Chain A
Amino acid sequence: MSKLTTLKKAVSEFVTDGDIVYAAGFTHLIPFAAGHEIIRQGKKNLILARATPDLIYDQMVAAGCAKKVIFSYMGNPGVGSLRIVRSAIERGELEWEEYSHFGMITRLQAGASGLPFLPMNQTGGEDLEKVNPNIKRIPDPYGGKDVIVVPALNPDVAIVHVQRADKNGNAHLWGIIGEQKEAAFAAKKVILTAEEIVDESVIRSDPNRTMIPGIVVSAVCHVPFASHPSYSQGYYDRDNEFYLAWDKISESKELTQQYLDEWVYSVKDRNAYWKKLGEKTHKRLKVKAQYSEKINYGKY
């Protein structure tokens, strides 16, 4: 059954105030278009989970969508501080819950596997354990050293951007695959945005590349350039200039509000946003093709 819909409808139907939202993607395929749509729709009191909150959560926190963040590395990647989330935490205006990357990803893996928790080896970095009661230690039932356990994370909704998907939500993604698969399986609902909507036969031509099956997907939205200023491997480059610019914008409340007004509230959708970026930016982010060798699945 086709799950194709607009991002506006998908966000309206599947994101509810107070939800735990996981916008997936480790620096790659970050679903900015969906983040902006959530801001436009004025969603509130969200619990925003992501290993790296990145600019997408900085913007959503600035817009007043969040009551809490769950994270494992809070920075502007390659630039420095993630100013808005950081200052909201420093001022005591935003709740937070923190893990190491492995702790965070293990929570998702447990959630994706339907387990209540999963163990990890001890790291000796014990102060996080003291301040986060979700991180516990239990004896190894087989007689080894104690192990650290973290509870499953089952977001109400995961948002995953992919290079291509069919109308049923079977999705190919490649490049850095971060935690997209785990987030999709862990979540109760999944909104998929895709650079391209392709025929099911394209997906079936390369089944090993299907990281997310349509059976876990709630909505499929055709949103080209959805991850700018992040990137989609092979489609467009990461906009480092914008990551640097955000460092300045996010220093000032006025500039941040101006940014949100101009680039989120005043644009109808991603298509309008991309047009507004202009040809110079499009050209700067263009990438030359570099194809993989074909593989032979065989005809049986």
Chain B
Amino acid sequence: MPELKYSSAELMIINASRLLRDGDVVFVGVGQPNLACNLAKRTHAPNLVMIYEAGVIGAEPARLPLSIGDPTLVSGALSVVSMYDIFANYLQRGNVDVGFMGGAQIDKYGNINATVIGGYDTPKVRLPGSGGSQEIAAWANRCYIMTPHQKRRFPEKVEFMTSAGFIEGKGAREARGLRGGGMLAVVTDIGVLEPDDSGEMMLTALHTGRTAEEAKANTGWNLKIAEHVKTTEQVTKKELKILREELDPTGIYLKGAA
């Protein structure tokens, strides 16, 4: 059988989709997270309930949503609520299982910077800011992120902590009463990082053909390697077909890495 060809974006999206469980209530972002969720819904998680930050619950988008407030999310959804309600009743109250995060940097403890590179008052690069990220990171039961594995994206400590992972390590979330479980998986184009008992992100899986040395070389801290590093399941023809033919036929989010 000829080897399947896929982009690193496709590889990450497919691996992220496998983290979702049937029946999960998932807080979805546009772009790659949206594809991962819709892929899961069309494969192993048909009862996935997709919630969008714009206040849409149970969306079943008929076309690829191009913004977080795309009208296709609304038509045919289960419910549409105000922004205050989505953050208060759904997130803060604890009605969300999974949150997909984004951000420019993620550190050793899974904390995220989506705000600024350089000083806050004298920004070198001003990023978009939290949006819903701060609350999703705190209150969704499980948080995941997809990001290309590059040293600049993986500093030992984020320059600005927009959203909490395990903060300074073990017990930090509990001390603040954060209800969610924190950053439970970082899916990269090299493999998967998951927290150890202290909340430090360590390499637990590699994609076929990638090595732990590569992961270490592209991480800004001394990356721990799990005792038994798994190999992620092969990407399947079916998954690629759904992504390319049904979900993103013009390849807006499937090309390249980010």
A residues whose Cβ falls under 8 Å from a Cβ of B? 26-28, 51-52, 71-75, 77-78, 81-82, 86, 89-90, 92, 98-103, 105-106, 108-109, 120-128, 131, 144-145, 174-179, 181-182, 231, 233, 237-238, 240, 243, 287, 290
A124 adjacent to B176 (CB under 8 Å): yes
Would you mind naming 23 contact pairs between A and B with Cβ atoms under 8 Å apart? A26-B54, A27-B70, A28-B69, A28-B71, A75-B128, A75-B131, A77-B68, A90-B124, A98-B129, A100-B135, A101-B53, A101-B83, A101-B135, A102-B88, A102-B92, A102-B132, A121-B177, A124-B167, A128-B115, A175-B80, A176-B56, A176-B71, A178-B55
B138 adjacent to A122 (CB under 8 Å): yes
In the complex, the chain B residue whose C-beta lies closest to that of A233 is B71
B173 adjacent to A124 (CB under 8 Å): yes
Contacts of B130 in A (CB 8 A): 72-73, 98-101, 125, 128
Distance, CA A179 to CA B133, complexed state (A): 18
Distance, CA A141 to CA B217, complexed state (A): 49
Q: How many pairs, one residue from A and one from B, have CB atoms within 8 Å of each other in the complex?
A: 175
B residues whose Cβ falls under 8 Å from a Cβ of A? 30-31, 53-56, 66-71, 73-76, 80-84, 87-88, 91-92, 115, 120-126, 128-135, 137-139, 160-164, 167, 172-173, 176-179
Distance, CA A231 to CA B70, complexed state (A): 9
Q: For the complex formed, measure the closest distance between the CB of B142 and the CB atoms of chain A, giving whole angstroms.
A: 16
Contacts of A123 in B (CB 8 A): 134-135, 137-139, 163-164, 178
Contacts of A103 in B (CB 8 A): 134
A27 adjacent to B69 (CB under 8 Å): yes
Distance, CA A90 to CA B53, complexed state (A): 27
In the complex, the chain B residue whose C-beta lies closest to that of A89 is B126
In the complex, the chain A residue whose C-beta lies closest to that of B132 is A101
Instruction: Known A72-B130, A105-B83; judge A125-B71 contact (CB<8 A).
Output: no
A77 adjacent to B126 (CB under 8 Å): no
Distance, CA A170 to CA B172, complexed state (A): 49
B82 adjacent to A182 (CB under 8 Å): yes
Q: For the complex formed, measure the closest distance between the CB of A179 and the CB atoms of chain B, giving whole angstroms.
A: 5
A128 adjacent to B162 (CB under 8 Å): yes
| Main DSSP-derived SS at the A contact region | loop
Contacts of B135 in A (CB 8 A): 100-102, 123
Contacts of A128 in B (CB 8 A): 115, 130, 134, 162
In the complex, the chain A residue whose C-beta lies closest to that of B166 is A124
Q: For the complex formed, measure the closest distance between the CB of A217 and the CB atoms of chain B, giving whole angstroms.
A: 18
A100 adjacent to B132 (CB under 8 Å): yes
Distance, CA A71 to CA B167, complexed state (A): 25
B161 adjacent to A100 (CB under 8 Å): no
Contacts of A71 in B (CB 8 A): 129
Contacts of B164 in A (CB 8 A): 123-126
A175 adjacent to B74 (CB under 8 Å): yes
Contacts of A75 in B (CB 8 A): 128, 131
Q: For the complex formed, measure the closest distance between the CB of B241 and the CB atoms of chain A, giving whole angstroms.
A: 25
A176 adjacent to B123 (CB under 8 Å): no
B122 adjacent to A127 (CB under 8 Å): no
A177 adjacent to B161 (CB under 8 Å): no
B70 adjacent to A124 (CB under 8 Å): no
B160 adjacent to A105 (CB under 8 Å): no
